[in-house]
Structure 1
């Protein structure tokens, strides 16, 4: 059964800002050579198999889930603080419906029933700030 991760995107102001930051970094290569983005976290998720069964990392930007990346793998990484976990992510960012989330430390599991839906490509309002888009959605205007 699929499960997702939820993570705060600290220091990022918008999806566009995240795209800009990603463009400035070289892609990581998975063990099989697949180009991917990566994020290093302290622990390996205990539900890794469920995450690899179609799970995504949903990014919370400025208090709203706004975008996700498909999780494609995990690998250990040696750091000065010991062994950590590198989450391998599909480079494609998929915008989602805006969903408010409170701050939390680390990552949280997100059940599929609680995950926001993907926005259709080129959806009306996709380029609006998250708070405004959320308010317009609640009013049924987009």
Structure 2
């Protein structure tokens, strides 16, 4: 099956370094994201949350075990889902943080995957776009205010 890609862009008034601190530290993801559990499963060989680190993210019965394969502070973080509950394979995500010349940060979040079930890609794209947009919004709000995002924004 073909690789499908979904991406979102979100401006944030906070500095790239502030956004990076939240993004790179998986223990904060349950504070600003929609995760019941977000933790480091095993540390990377050079940096605990760097390349080779494995993270567990859980929401309800949905679980992902991810491995970091790009860790470029404070610019870029990318990971591969090595075990998950979604009907996809080769699921990887990347977040790039770019300074905005007038101040703040642009958050660019991309996920790519192959649907395991023929004909479901459009539905997965739609849902994934909503999830990524919400994650980027929540990350931006937390970086800007230090407080969790409201669910009705």
**TM-score of the superposed pair, with normalisation by structure 1:** 0.27
**TM-score of the superposed pair, with normalisation by structure 2:** 0.26
Larger proportion of helix: 2
